[in-house]
Each structure stands twice: as C-alpha cells, then as structure tokens.
C-alpha cells in the first residue's frame, strides 16, 4: 500500500522469507519433541501464526489466547486483559508463544507469568516484530523476525483501531 498516509516498511516477500527462516530455526532447536503447543496471541498474531506453522516440521497443536491492552488507542493502556488461557492444558507441554509485536513487553511478560503457573515442560517465545525503544518491562523473545524502529506499524495482523490487519505487508504512517 503506497497511499499518502502509509508506506511499506517490510514487504510481503521479506516477511515470507524471514518466516520460513524462523520456522527452520525453531524446528531445528525443538527437534525430537513429541508435540508442540503453538499459542497464537490474538488478534494481532493470527496471520503470522498461520504462516509460521505451515513451515514448521514438528507435530503441532494450535491454541489461541486473547490479549489486549491497546483498545482503540495507539499507546498501551498498561492493563493487559487475557482471555481463553484458563481452558487450555499447558502442564507438561512444550509451548511456543507466537506474537506479532513485542513493544512495552507488558503483554508477553503477563502471558508468560500466567502460563508458567501451569508448569509447561518448556516455553519459547517467537515475535515477528520487536520495538525495543518502547520497552517498559524487560523481556526478550527467543525468536525475533525483525527489529523495528519507533514507528506505529500496521498490516500483516497489526491494526490501527481495528483497521489494516488484512494487509500482506507491514506498513508505517508517513
Ligand atoms: C498488541 C500486540 C501485542 C501487544 C504488544 O496487542 O498484538 O499483543 O500489543 O504490546 P506490548 O509489548 O506493549 O504489550 P493489542 O492490545 O493491540 O491487541 P490486538 O492484538 O488485538 O490488536
């Protein structure tokens, strides 16, 4: 999308190439496990998760949890609301958390703390984007697609007031 308001930051081709690389790395590192519980953090990670799992060469089950803190704002409210995680069995499972963006770190740190209470066998975090300039809670993902500068980004699952999630690339406001 090259409109007056947005310009492309990461093309669809770069996204797909990097996602295939991430999947190869994850598959190699976790080789030998009997089952990987992939946890897609809704809504933003739905497209990334769908593309990533199709490149994994591991037996998977796919689960979904909902985390939200931005609402219709462009800055985090600071309150992370989690839903659906209580109904999923994590004990003894090998878990891969899949996120679209690691920004302040509040969402992932809250999810990891919550899931660890169920004693998974292992937990790894994969984020497509990392915006380290905004970090409030220290957090590092095991797998990162792209480090990005301090821009408000949309597309490929990420929204601005629920719009633009459908774009096949990552876009930034001009
Ligand atoms: C966004 C994004 C991550 C989180 C990252 O979710 O999808 O889950 O914020 O930000 P943080 O590191 O500052 O916590 P959002 O609350 O916008 O919900 P959404 O995924 O439904 O768009």
Q: Spell out the domain ranges in the chain.
A: 13-151
pLDDT confidence of residue 78 = 75
104 CA distance to ligand 1 centroid (A)? 9
Task: Sort 14 into a burial class: Cβ within 10 Å, 0-12 / 13-18 / 19+.
Answer: middle
CATH class given for the domain over 13-151: alpha beta
pLDDT confidence of residue 143 = 98
pLDDT confidence of residue 73 = 67
pLDDT confidence of residue 113 = 94
pLDDT confidence of residue 71 = 65
What parts of the chain have a pLDDT lower than 70?
Answer: 1-4, 71-77, 174
pLDDT confidence of residue 94 = 98
**Distance of alpha carbon 165 from alpha carbon 171, whole angstroms:** 10
Options 72, 103, 130, 161, the catalytic residue: 103
pLDDT confidence of residue 17 = 98
87 CA distance to ligand 1 centroid (A)? 21
Cβ–Cβ under 8 Å, residues 108 and 99 = yes
- pLDDT per position as a tens digit, 111-157: 999 999 999 999 999 999 999 998 999 999 999 999 999 999 999 99
pLDDT confidence of residue 134 = 87
Which residue owns the Cα nearest ligand 1 atom 3? 101
- pTM for this model (two decimals): 0.93
* Nearest-atom index, ligand 1, CA of 68: 16
């Amino acid at each position: 999308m090259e409109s007056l308001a947005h310009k492309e930051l990461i093309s669809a081709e770069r996204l797909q190439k990097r996602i295939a690389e991430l999947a190869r790395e994850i598959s190699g590192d976790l080789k030998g496990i009997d089952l990987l519980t992939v946890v897609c953090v809704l809504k933003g990670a739905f497209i990334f998760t769908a593309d990533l799992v199709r490149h994994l060469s591991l037996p998977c089950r796919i689960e979904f949890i909902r985390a939200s803190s931005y609402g219709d704002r462009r800055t985090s409210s600071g309150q992370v609301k989690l839903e659906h995680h209580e109904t999923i069995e994590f004990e003894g499972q090998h878990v891969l958390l899949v996120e679209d963006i690691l920004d302040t770190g509040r969402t992932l740190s809250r999810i990891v703390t919550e899931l660890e209470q169920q004693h998974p066998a292992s937990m790894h975090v994969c984020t497509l984007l990392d915006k380290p300039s905004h970090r409030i809670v220290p957090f590092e993902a095991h797998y990162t697609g792209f480090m990005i500068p301090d821009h408000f980004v949309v597309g490929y699952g990420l929204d601005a007031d629920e719009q633009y999630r459908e774009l096949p690339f990552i876009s930034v406001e001009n």
